[in-house]
Amino acid sequence: MKITGLHARIEDKDILKGVDLQVNAGEVHAIMGPNGSGKSTLANVLAGRAEYEVTAGSVSYLGEDLLKLAPEERAWKGVFLAFQYPVEIPGVSNMNFLRTAINEARIARGEKEMGGKDFLALVRERAKLVEMDPALMNRNLNVGFSGGEKKRNEIFQMAMLEPKLGILDETDSGLDIDALRIVAGGVNKLRSKDNAFIVVTHYQRLLDYIVPDVVHVMAEGRIIKSGPKELALELEEKGYDWVKEHA
């Protein structure tokens, strides 16, 4: 995926002011930055959230113009956003929804729908990745889930949908250290040479568990510095102001 000169705004507020980023298969990129720097906006723009208006720039994904695709089309082509605040949806069961999502993607790709048996087998296997309580599977989507359970459910869904590009929007926020380890472990098991991840985070902590290939620092709607994984440690020590001064 290649992002070039991306500008975006919500209502009348400009948030992204020229983001350039290239992510190749097999790579994990971390995006760090202070609150309001545009990290979450970037994640949501890539997933196709309609509230954000792209005013300039382009995103090419597997040779296609990503910005022209509807959110579900992006999902069918392998884009997945793990939400910072997963939405509770009463009346929609976790399982039904996932099965619909998987099969719509399969139909869109011209593949055969997944039968009930295969689906259940896959659920059992992938639930183990994030040590998810099977009782949560039949519950309504995220309803009554604790913060940690919601985040695990995000990674579980990601494991089920097997994306090519997984975007984690502050998945670590609100997680205790055990939950963080489980969630990170799930992501690590999904890593392969054929997929890529963008990990948006405020703290270096998550990157102890999900070790990135590249760390980017965002500030005021731009990526102001990129570097190897050690950059995250340096940031933790010296703070964002240090980067801003030296950018």
Partner 1 sequence: MESTMILDEPKAAVLALLEHSEWPEAGQALARANELPIPGRRTEQWKYTPVAKLFNKSYGKPDGQVPVELPARLPFPATRVVFVNGHFRADLSDDLKTDKGVVIDSIRHHLSHGPLKANYGRIAGIGDRLFTAMNTAAPTDGLIILATKGAKTSQPVHVLRITTAAAGNSPMLIQPRDLFMLHEGASLEVIDEHVAIGAASASLVNSVRESVVGHGAELTLHLLQNEPDGPADIGLDAVQVAENGHFSVDTSTLHGSLVRNDITVALEGSGAHAELNGVYLLNGNAHCDNHSYIGHNVPDCTSDELYKGVVGGKATGVFNGKVYVKQDAQRTRAYQRNANVLQGDLARVYSKPELEIYADDVKCSHGCTIGRMDEQAIFYLRSRGVSEAEAWRMMSHAFVAEVLERIENTQWKEHLGRMMDRKLEDL
Q: 35-73 b/e with 16+ CB inside 10 Å = b?
A: eebbbbbbbbbbbbeeebeeeebebebeeeebbebeeee
83 scored as a contact of partner 1 (CB under 8 A): yes
- CB of residue 93 vs partner 1: minimum separation in angstroms? 9
| Residue found under tokens 């039949």 | 138
Cα(128)–Cα(46) distance, integer angstroms: 29
Interface mask toward partner 1 for 129-148; x: CB under 8 A: -----------x--------
Interface mask toward partner 1 for 60-79; x: CB under 8 A: ----------xxx-xxx---
Q: What is the distance, to the nearest Å, from the Cα of residue 84 to the centroid of all Cα atoms in its chain?
A: 9
- Based on its alpha-carbon atoms, the radius of gyration of the chain, rounded to whole angstroms, reads 18
100 scored as a contact of partner 1 (CB under 8 A): yes
- Among residues 38, 48, 212, 221, which is the contact residue for partner 1, using CB under 8 A? 48
Nearer to partner 1, 97 or 240 (CB): 97
Q: Supply 15's token pair.
A: 């948030």
The number of residues that bind partner 1 (CB under 8 A) is 31
- Among residues 35, 50, 63, 245, which is the contact residue for partner 1, using CB under 8 A? 50
- Among residues 30, 47, 165, 243, which is the contact residue for partner 1, using CB under 8 A? 47
203 scored as a contact of partner 1 (CB under 8 A): no
81 scored as a contact of partner 1 (CB under 8 A): yes
SS3 content of the chain, % helix, strand, coil (to 5): 40, 30, 30
Residue 134 sits at φ, ψ, to 5 deg, of -60, -25
127 scored as a contact of partner 1 (CB under 8 A): no
194 class by beta-carbon count within 10 Å (0-12 exposed, 13-18 middle, 19+ buried): exposed
Interface with partner 1 in residues 163-192 (CB under 8 A): none
Binding site for partner 1 (CB under 8 A): 47-50, 70-72, 74-76, 80-81, 83, 86-87, 89-92, 96-98, 100-102, 104-105, 108, 140, 157, 161
